[in-house]
Amino acid sequence: MATLLHIDTAGEKAMIAFTQNGAILASKENNLSNTHAAFVQASIKELADTYHINLDALDAIVVTMGPGSYTGLRVGLASAKGLAYALEKPLIGLSTLALLAHAAKRSLEFSNLKNLQIFTMIDAKRMEVFGAVFNQAQAITLKEQAIELSKDYMEQLIKQGPVLCIGNGAAKVKTLLTHPSLYFSDLSYNLMDFIELAEAKLKAKNFEDIAYSSPSYLKEFYQKKP
Q: What is the pLDDT of residues 111-150, one digit of tens each?
A: 788 999 999 999 998 999 999 999 999 999 999 999 999 9
* pTM listed for this prediction: 0.93
CB 75 within 8 A of CB 36: yes
Is it the case that residue 90 has pLDDT exceeding 80? yes
What's the pLDDT score for residue 1? 66
Domain range annotation of the chain:
3-95+189-222, 108-185
What's the pLDDT score for residue 220? 57
Distance, CA of 61 to CA of 226 (rounded, Å) = 26
Distance, CA of 137 to CA of 102 (rounded, Å) = 9
Give the list of residues 6+ apart from residue 11 with CB closer than 8 angstroms, or none: 33, 68, 69, 72, 96, 122, 168
Is it the case that residue 168 has pLDDT exceeding 70? yes
In CATH, the number for domain 3-95+189-222 is: 3.30.420.40
Please give the average per-residue pLDDT across 51-67, as a whole number: 97
**Do 3-95+189-222 and 108-185 fold alike per CATH?**
yes
| The architecture CATH gives domain 108-185 | 2-Layer Sandwich (3.30)
